Structure 1
Amino acid sequence: MPPIQTSIIPDHETVFAHLSNRFDLEAAMQPFLGRTSALQRYDLSFDLPALETACRQVIARYSLRGFRNTADDVANPAYGSLSLTCNPDVAGDPHSATLGSAHLRNGQYFYASDATRAQMPKLKGDYYDGYGFRRLTPAANHGALGGLLRGFTLPVIRSRLSVIPGDNPAALQDGYGWHRDESIFHNLRINIPVWTAPEYLLEIETVLLQPEPGSATAQRHHLRHGFAWSWDTNQPHRVFASGLTMQSRCHLVVGLAPWFDYDAANDAWSPNQWFGRMHPHDLIAEGLAHPLIRAGRRL
């Protein structure tokens, strides 16, 4: 089957949904669905001081932004971000490109339900169209940050740099930040701490679809600096602070298309050689997502 050009995909579909239907992704996933995707830690062989310098420079140059919403209330964000990818077909600030939608309220980002999708005038090119964000932003091309991102051998899709201020009391609340993202067969995320502190914890709800305070099935982890991390982000999860600290938290959240190739010259997508053959986390562990990120360990 020939590659699918982005231009032929209708506005009522996301790029991924179109590719999934055309190439029967559901059938290809079946052999892997019994595998539990626990938190994975990977060795990261990169110049981390240079990466931190580059991230501080792009934050100073481009400034952090909040997630867009119907109130457009993004000033002085308690969770500040910069988009690392953008959609070349959509006008506007590239560094806000992946940060929400003007058609959604803040409380609607838990997961893409049929109701939230129905609020979109179109799906292609909006927040849920992860594969639409297929071009690196100017910030993402800066210094060592650009060196890291250009080294990925899988297509980099919706990605961002995000910072939690250390003096943010909202991050202490039980309900702070809970959300679900796409399946790892859709969007394989690699989380890279640029700087952090022990107070910042990742919480993953492993059983319940709606997280509850004090859940016995929730796991908590501190994502240590010096490693790359990944997990099944389709499970409810959040990052919160166990206490106030003088240190902020800066992480890269890099999204990858694990089973599709992207031909930038022709703006076209096709299944890659790993489609239906290798679990997304194995791609990272074998250095097939990035040659400097490999040899993962399940925690």
Structure 2
Amino acid sequence: MKKTSNSYSMSSWNSSSVAEALSVMIQKEQTVYRISDYFHQPSSSSSVASPSLRAVDEDVRTTMVDWCYSFIDACKFERESVAMAMEMVDRFLSKSSKAEAVLCDRMEFQLLTMTSLYVTTKTHGKTSLGIDCISTICQNLYTDDEIVAMELTLLNELEWRITPPTCVQMAQHILSLIAAHDVTFDKTTWNFILDEIKFQAEHAVRDYNFVTQRPSTLAIAAMLNALEQLDKKKCCSICRALVSIMNDEFDSIEIILDMKRRLFSLVYGHKAEAEDESCREVDALLCI
């Protein structure tokens, strides 16, 4: 990213490479990294326990996510590590034949989550957690052998696909493409939009209702909510550029706008009604 007169521009970037990378991420999110509704999906298998008999539910998942964020903050790791770890947890529970055993045992669910966080920091972080650290923070509830066994199970069940495209990563690519369409971002605006997207994305990680949503859809939805907080001229300029880069690889405008409102309500709650006017302006602009 080139900085010119305290602004961010794509003039020196190869926008076609960014577009190609984004297209690959979109393909991945719809295929190998797709997640289904594992808490509510019907199954004819007699081995699947009734949801009422499971020890793990949406609230348990949220509690574990909150713990992960607290732990990551204490260790000064990147907060996006939690999003990547929970993506692996959700995909494992969505696809693995071993998922039901985990859903029926909170200890196993905790082990799965901690192991996913361990794998994420090891493969994506500048520094990583050690197995001994995992054992310590879990108060030695799990042996090193149990953690290693869960790691192998996780990796094998996910076929070693452990680089999921995240909402924030997609947002960065989309913003870069917008900048290539003669939209100049000053540093403050660029950072504000990304910070708002990260903030909303973390709320989405906590809420199971967003688990099955495509990261690209969440990225655009969060971006639109952030844009509504800018002045009208800048908001309209960025929205028009956004529309120009969206093709049929993305979800429809209707789906994105629905996700935008759901995400706004989740994050800002009682403020939603007060923002109706600006919401309508952005919605109308995108539907042109």
Same fold (TM > 0.5): no
Point out the structure with the larger helix share.
2
Q: Which has the higher contact order (CA 8 A, sep 6+)?
A: 1
Query: Which has more strand, going by share of residues?
Result: 1
Answer with 1 or 2: which has the greater Rg. 2
- TM normalised by structure 2 equals 0.27
| TM-score when normalising by structure 1 | 0.26
